[in-house]
Structure 1
Amino acid sequence: MNKTLISLACCATLCALLSACDGKTAANEKNFGITVSQYFEKKGEMCLDPVTWPVDVYETDLRQQKLYPDGVAGQMAALAAAGLARGEDVELPGTLAGSKVKARRYTMADAARPYLHGAAGQPPRLCWGRKSLDKVVRWADPAKAGDHEESSVIYTYRLSDVAPWARTPQVKEAFPVLGRSVDGERTQQEKLYVRSTPQGWQALGLNG
């Protein structure tokens, strides 16, 4: 083999290596950043769990509100304080015939409607902001899983369009997941599991 053929072979090998390092299926910060961003484009909206209105809060729950601020009594009180719910005292039928029990009934306020979002066929939820990628921190070495590879990506996130009520201490205490998300912006690390495809890396469960 002459020098020209050796040079061509080396060049082809180098190009293949560079392609593997820079291609869409390469495990690098750029590709995983694109994958996390695509995931948030579809699933980045941040919402509370669905609420079936009206919500009746009984005296037993009200008595435990200070002990369990993230219980139903604390959550409804927080939404009412934020102007998203209205509460009124009511009497409801008890377990014994003719008996009555006291409760506080909460209904959704008109101020909550702009935050009410729901996909077709799913109950609407109160949504308070959107999550997007801040930066990729690190990732696991890809491992073979059948006909593809899988990895996990650790990242930090940014928040946008955050509703003012979502930053209030009472709401953050009543809804701990929301509170951790708001307080953890740009610092809290989260993990996303991904898999390789011919088009590049994709978040597991993205189409779920």
Structure 2
Amino acid sequence: MSLRAGVLMFGCCVLALAGCGSKEDASEANFGAAISSFLTETGDLCLGFNIRQWPIDVAPGSLLASGQLEALEAAGLVSSEPAAVDEKNIFGKPTGFRTAVKRYQLSDKGKTFYRELSRSGLFANAGEIKGGDFCYGKEALDKVVKWEGPTKPGADQQVRVTYSYKINDLADWAKAPSIASAFPREAQILAGAGKQNWKVIVKLTSAGWEVVSGH
């Protein structure tokens, strides 16, 4: 066999092997990589306790979820003290009276788990609405359970992938009974790690499979 023929044969073998592991294949490895990449960007797990600014003043009978604030205080994320503020009428004008409140402020521990958030306002001239939340861990892929599709070959190939998740860097305070009671949705997420299945839609792009719709 000539040298040139040997090189050509070697090149064909390499291409054949590469084809066996193509990034376009509908495979557990490719779907897992797509989900992991997606969760790296979007997988922060937070309480959903969106606060515009600190401190927070809670008056007796306030509609604000003081039970959640008490749970956060029990976890050491906030501290409170009695305070008094000027009363205001429905037009925002001072009434001349003072109201006793419970004032909550971020603790040093709380600052390490608090994440500032920003999003566009509902109206074009609203600018950015800023707030923040307490984040307690990072969702990560546990395993790909199954997938459905692609239904047919073509340019627009989408697959529904079912996967289970795990939680990395889980904060100890998130496991406290007081947090589970005040934030039941988060308690369900913690309990579902490694057990509960979630679904995403992945789409075939020029760069391979990418998540286009999360759970």
Structure with the higher strand share, 1 or 2:
2
Please tell me whether residue 46 in structure 1 is matched to residue 54 in structure 2.
Answer: no
CA distance in 2, matches of 1:24, 1:88: 57
SS in 2 for 1:86: strand
Please tell me whether residue 92 in structure 1 is matched to residue 85 in structure 2.
Answer: yes
RMSD: 3.1
Equivalent positions of 1:96-175 (< 5 A) are: 97-118=95-116, 123-143=131-151, 147-175=155-183
- Which residue in 2 is equivalent to 1:56? 57
Question: Could you tell me how far 1:116 is from its partner in structure 2?
Answer: 2.8
Question: Could you tell me how far 1:95 is from its partner in structure 2?
Answer: 4.2
CA distance in 2, matches of 1:201, 1:39: 11
CA distance in 2, matches of 1:106, 1:83: 12
Please tell me whether residue 197 in structure 1 is matched to residue 205 in structure 2.
Answer: yes
- Which residue in 2 is equivalent to 1:29? 28
Query: Unpaired segments of 5 or more residues in structure 2?
Result: 1-14, 90-94, 120-129
Question: Could you tell me how far 1:108 is from its partner in structure 2?
Answer: 0.5
SS in 1 for 2:112: helix
Q: Write the letter of the residue equivalent to 1:160.
A: N
Query: Unpaired segments of 5 or more residues in structure 1?
Result: 1-14, 63-70
Aligned length: 183
SS in 1 for 2:103: strand
Q: Write the letter of the residue equivalent to 1:195.
A: K
Q: Write the letter of the residue equivalent to 1:91.
A: A
Q: Write the letter of the residue equivalent to 2:107.
A: A
- Which residue in 2 is equivalent to 1:12? none
Q: Write the letter of the residue equivalent to 1:157.
A: Y
Offset from partner CA, 1:47-85 (integer Å, 9 cap, x none): 2344221112222148xxxxxxxx621111011001110
SS in 1 for 2:210: strand
Q: TM-score, normalised by structure 1?
A: 0.74
| Structure 2 contact 202–209 (Cα < 8 Å) conserved | yes
Question: Could you tell me how far 1:118 is from its partner in structure 2?
Answer: 4.4
When structure 1 is superposed on structure 2, of 130-139 and 50-59 the one drifting more is: 50-59
SS in 2 for 1:98: strand
CA distance in 1, matches of 2:151, 2:66: 46
Question: Could you tell me how far 1:130 is from its partner in structure 2?
Answer: 1.3
Equivalent positions of 1:177-192 (< 5 A) are: 177-192=185-200
Question: Could you tell me how far 1:29 is from its partner in structure 2?
Answer: 1.6
Percent identity among equivalent residues? 33
